[in-house]
Structure 1
Amino acid sequence: MEGIIELKHVLKNFGYQSLFQLTKIIMPIITVPIVSKALGPGGLGIFNYTNSITQYFVLVASLGISMYGNREIALVYNRKENISKTFWEICLLKAVLTCITLLVFLLFTTFLGNKIYFYIQSLTIIAVMFDISWFFMGIEDFRKTSMINLGIQFVTFILIIFLIKDSSDTILYVLLQSVGTLLSQLLTWLFIHKHINFKKVAFLDSFRHIRSSFEFFIPQVAILLYTNLNKTLLGVFIGSTAVGYYTNSLTINTVFITVITTLDMVLLPHMSGLYAKGNINKMVDIIDKTIHLQLYFSVPAMFGMLTVYDKLVPWFFGKEFLFINKVIPLFSILIVVMPLGMSISRQYLIPIGKVKIYNKSVLIGAVINILSNLILLPWIGFFGVVFSNLLAEIFVTVVRTKSFLNQTNFSFKKKNLLVIFCSSIIMWFVTRIITNGMSPTFLTNLIQVSIAVPIYFLLTSLFGYNPILSGLGKWKKEN
């Protein structure tokens, strides 16, 4: 009975988080073409370039506290310890770090161009101080943060549709994004009094969290070096238009990555709770199921992107972005690679405190990204940055997967993987052949999806591995 209650709780949180993540996906699907056509590669590039630099300061202000706070609250909550004291200690630490970082940011940006954009983006740094989403995730309450973010995203979405008309609205677009981020953090404080009592905490007690949170900060710096740094390099050495191409190429693939990794965020505090109770075997059993379920969706999603991309770009992004038809297929491999690496880190390495292995993987990724850029950027320009990103992400996932396999009895089910890949390849081939002569329109993409999804679902069923049907069968028996 306890296991059923736990499962329902996880599924409930998964539902809220999925709703939020789906909204995060649907909004860009509608707003990206509007913004891309209105602002153009130049305006969009300015936003992404200034945002990429601002994110370095957001990272410093956060100091890994979001991930650390999530785990720490989950551990304290499950051990019935003083959760209010821990909460206020972490909040005080964040406030001090944010104020210092904001001051440095304002001084630093006085020496850069596009000052007005940077000043507006400073609101996202202030938002870090008020971010307590880590607390609600730690107590496995995803409803409040999901609903608030949904509301803010919807309002921002409406304002973008009605207010962003051309490249002269770039400043307004930056303002809408920054204010939305700040408001989403401020509103969560309306619900904290139900869980937390005010406690005056000592300044020194607050700083006891620095060392542990810094362990989570190191990998975030490394991650930024092989993600955000690429945008900065493109902006400096090639131009803001290249940043626009790069960002949109990643964004369209990130849509799938976001959906697929939703369960990982929900399971992180749950796994931390299981670890606090010593249920390691149960953790590995859950990971086994979730990773294979994840691959069941991520592999066909990758081949699905390879199916629709050239019919999607012209009507979705506009003719100014036709160049990214050369880039999207390369980035599509990340739909499989990134979720796998994220699952292992969020469901196993972080909950059990194996932060050193987690750090090692992202540090390797950062080093590979920097070295690759030094070699490839001068040689092949834009595509040098693309290949550097791919190499970094692949190595990160390989290191995490190898470590996980060595420490547990987990193994990939080769037969299931063969079914997934064969079904996906056949799906891709048949759909491409049928729709080859069609024009690049929304209707064509809709037809492609309508053909591809049933083919994949039918083939995996015929070949003997369809976890959706298996899960429904078990559910019917139990009910």
Structure 2
Amino acid sequence: MKSISRNYLYNLSYQILTLLTPLITAPYISRTLGVNGIGEYSFSYSIVAYFVLLAGFGIPSYAQREIAYNQDDPYGQSRIFWEVISLQIIFVTLSLIGYYTLGKVWGVDSQIYWVQALNIVAIFFDVSWFFQGLEEFGKIVFRNFLVRIANIALLFLLVKTPNDLILYTFIMAGMNVVSGLLICLFLKNYIRRVPISEIHPFHNISTVLQLFLPQIAIQVYVILDKTMLGFWADTYTENGYYEQADKIVKMCLSVTTSLGTVMLPRIAFTFAQGSIEKVREYMMKSYRFIFSLSIPMCFGLIVTASNFVPWFFGPGYEPVAKLIAIESTVIITIGLSNVTGIQFMVPTKRQNELTFSVVAGAIFNFVINLFLIPAFMSTGVAIATALTELVVTTVQFWLVRDFFSIKEIFKQCRTYLAGSIVMILGVSFLAKTLSPSILHTLILIIAGGLMYIACLLLMKDDMLCLAIGKVKRKFSH
């Protein structure tokens, strides 16, 4: 049995690199391409994203779960692998045909849309789901590390002016293809030959479809808002504002959602063994962990956004600070819905409830965007996103009330809420005396982190004390 803490650290190390990548490249790219260029990239990607979704067709979630169920059966893993690859070939091909047809009917004449098609091709080569199901996260992190470093280097070396938008798009999409090719190199030590007569790619297609439906709904309110904003606005500028704000918020969010990738195969395996109480124990620990990170990150973004946006993105991006403050609440709500939906509903075969929750969110998001975007543009999108994630999380909690005590879940957050309130009061007072600069933003972040940790130590938080104890034991050895 793989170590959850080790796998989380593997995933966290990659998420830290994911955090560092935009921190390194965003100031350069935002100034090089400009807010309009960033907005055009955001809008074009929002179009191809629907076809990327079709190419995936819910297959990765299904495959990861099935591999996890068969961790002790190498031959079964190989059979599942070939069935999934067969499905990926079919759906990637259909997606490419659909995207090309739309482009011709729409009369697309900009190269950026055709370059974005590489994101669809990348789905075929990405077999991360196989290693996630086996809880072999070290290989995925190693692959991702190489790709991220190469991505950063290419952006600085090749993207020089606003006219390099197509080249920027090619690098971003092309590295996704390279990423998939690299992970395939590890397969030869795991995959066995399986007779074609035993490969039945469509035998679980109804389950795959059930997992695909929530992804459609999620994409509707994750991507559709950018598409709607692009159609309503006169220029790509509003998309540029929202893209940058969304990038910062999702960057922080990735630290918490990385736990879901680790816990899904573990909970799936535990559920398959019939250990229901152990599943419940894992879940309560996950909720507590999410609260411990998401609440201070949300509060921290709210209070520091106006300090770091001016120097980080440069002139012309001032409205981004307000958008970050509005959207930052999704760090908490998505963190919680990731635990409930991805860590619990998917591995315990309650995907229909997951579908219901995200469909409710998608409908709500579409309707509220119809009112908010024309009136408030990018601000309206940020408000709609925050409210939508709250709706999704609330619906999911209502659906799992038979398995979890909602009161018990929220008892996990009391310590972290108290510490975060102290932190935001202290940092708000300090921020009044500091002007926007790299040094002053670092001061605010460090001061806020120290205040939060000090509060948890004073309240003798069990999880923090346990983490400190583990670190002490490591050093003592």
2:238 counterpart of 1:221: no
8 A contact 2:78–2:192 mirrored in 1: yes
Offset at 1:361?
A: 0.6
Q: Does the residue aligned with 1:91 lie in a helix, a strand or coil?
A: helix
CA displacement 1:148-200 (0-9 Å, x = unmatched): 11101110111111222221110110010111000100121111111111334
Q: Give the match for residue 199 of structure 1.
A: 194
The one of 296, 301, 310 equivalent to 2:297 is 301
2:443 counterpart of 1:447: yes
8 A contact 1:90–1:209 mirrored in 2: no
- Matched residue type, 2:440: T
8 A contact 2:323–2:378 mirrored in 1: no
Q: Does the residue aligned with 2:116 lie in a helix, a strand or coil?
A: helix
Offset at 1:460?
A: 2.0
**2:315 and 2:67 mapped to 1: Cα distance?**
48
**2:318 and 2:42 mapped to 1: Cα distance?**
19
Offset at 1:144?
A: 1.4
8 A contact 1:264–1:343 mirrored in 2: yes
2:41 counterpart of 1:47: yes
Q: Give the match for residue 104 of structure 1.
A: 98
Q: Give the match for residue 259 of structure 2.
A: 263
Offset at 1:415?
A: 5.8
2:181 counterpart of 1:186: yes
Q: Give the match for residue 240 of structure 2.
A: 244
Structure 2 counterparts to residues 424-435 of structure 1, below 5 A: 424-435=420-431
Offset at 1:294?
A: 1.7
CA displacement 1:219-253 (0-9 Å, x = unmatched): 11101110100111111111311111111111111
Offset at 1:382?
A: 3.0
Offset at 1:405?
A: 3.0
Q: Does the residue aligned with 1:320 lie in a helix, a strand or coil?
A: coil
**1:133 and 1:477 mapped to 2: Cα distance?**
33
Q: Does the residue aligned with 2:167 lie in a helix, a strand or coil?
A: helix
User: 1:405/1:476 Cα in 2 relative to 1: closer, same or farther (>3 Å)?
Assistant: farther
Q: Give the match for residue 3 of structure 1.
A: none
CA displacement 1:42-67 (0-9 Å, x = unmatched): 11111111111101001001100011
**1:241 and 1:359 mapped to 2: Cα distance?**
33
2:442 counterpart of 1:458: no
**1:475 and 1:450 mapped to 2: Cα distance?**
21
The one of 65, 68, 90 equivalent to 2:62 is 68
8 A contact 2:457–2:464 mirrored in 1: no
**2:277 and 2:472 mapped to 1: Cα distance?**
26
Q: Give the match for residue 86 of structure 2.
A: 92
CA displacement 1:23-53 (0-9 Å, x = unmatched): 1111011111111111011111111111111
2:75 counterpart of 1:77: no
Q: Does the residue aligned with 1:399 lie in a helix, a strand or coil?
A: helix
**1:477 and 1:373 mapped to 2: Cα distance?**
52
Offset at 1:112?
A: 4.0
User: 1:203/1:319 Cα in 2 relative to 1: closer, same or farther (>3 Å)?
Assistant: farther
2:392 counterpart of 1:364: no
2:34 counterpart of 1:21: no
The one of 354, 366, 373 equivalent to 1:377 is 373
Segments of 5+ residues of structure 1 without an aligned counterpart are 1-5
The one of 326, 338, 349 equivalent to 2:334 is 338
Bigger CA drift: 442-451 or 112-121?
A: 112-121
User: 1:240/1:411 Cα in 2 relative to 1: closer, same or farther (>3 Å)?
Assistant: same
Query: What is the CA RMSD across the aligned residues, in angstroms?
Result: 2.0
**2:434 and 2:375 mapped to 1: Cα distance?**
37
Bigger CA drift: 26-35 or 208-217?
A: 208-217
8 A contact 1:457–1:466 mirrored in 2: no
- Matched residue type, 2:58: G
8 A contact 1:249–1:324 mirrored in 2: yes
8 A contact 2:304–2:431 mirrored in 1: no
CA displacement 1:378-410 (0-9 Å, x = unmatched): 333333322222221111111112222332356
Segments of 5+ residues of structure 2 without an aligned counterpart are none
Q: Give the match for residue 124 of structure 1.
A: 119
The one of 370, 394, 399 equivalent to 2:395 is 399
The one of 301, 304, 310 equivalent to 2:306 is 310
**2:446 and 2:466 mapped to 1: Cα distance?**
23
User: 1:178/1:200 Cα in 2 relative to 1: closer, same or farther (>3 Å)?
Assistant: farther
**2:196 and 2:395 mapped to 1: Cα distance?**
40
Offset at 1:473?
A: 3.9
Structure 2 counterparts to residues 127-138 of structure 1, below 5 A: 127-138=122-133
**1:437 and 1:477 mapped to 2: Cα distance?**
41
**1:413 and 1:97 mapped to 2: Cα distance?**
39
CA displacement 1:437-459 (0-9 Å, x = unmatched): 22100000111122111111111
Offset at 1:81?
A: 6.0
Bigger CA drift: 178-187 or 406-415?
A: 406-415
Q: Does the residue aligned with 1:352 lie in a helix, a strand or coil?
A: coil
User: 1:411/1:105 Cα in 2 relative to 1: closer, same or farther (>3 Å)?
Assistant: same
8 A contact 1:64–1:217 mirrored in 2: yes
Q: Does the residue aligned with 2:129 lie in a helix, a strand or coil?
A: helix
* TM-score, structure 1 normalization: 0.94
**1:265 and 1:122 mapped to 2: Cα distance?**
26
2:439 counterpart of 1:436: no
Q: Does the residue aligned with 1:140 lie in a helix, a strand or coil?
A: coil
Identity in percent = 29
Equivalences, count:
473
The one of 164, 169, 190 equivalent to 1:169 is 164
2:278 counterpart of 1:278: no
- Matched residue type, 2:59: I
Offset at 1:87?
A: 0.9
Bigger CA drift: 55-64 or 204-213?
A: 204-213
User: 1:415/1:403 Cα in 2 relative to 1: closer, same or farther (>3 Å)?
Assistant: closer
Structure 2 counterparts to residues 141-152 of structure 1, below 5 A: 141-152=136-147
User: 1:409/1:384 Cα in 2 relative to 1: closer, same or farther (>3 Å)?
Assistant: closer
8 A contact 1:377–1:384 mirrored in 2: yes
Offset at 1:339?
A: 0.5
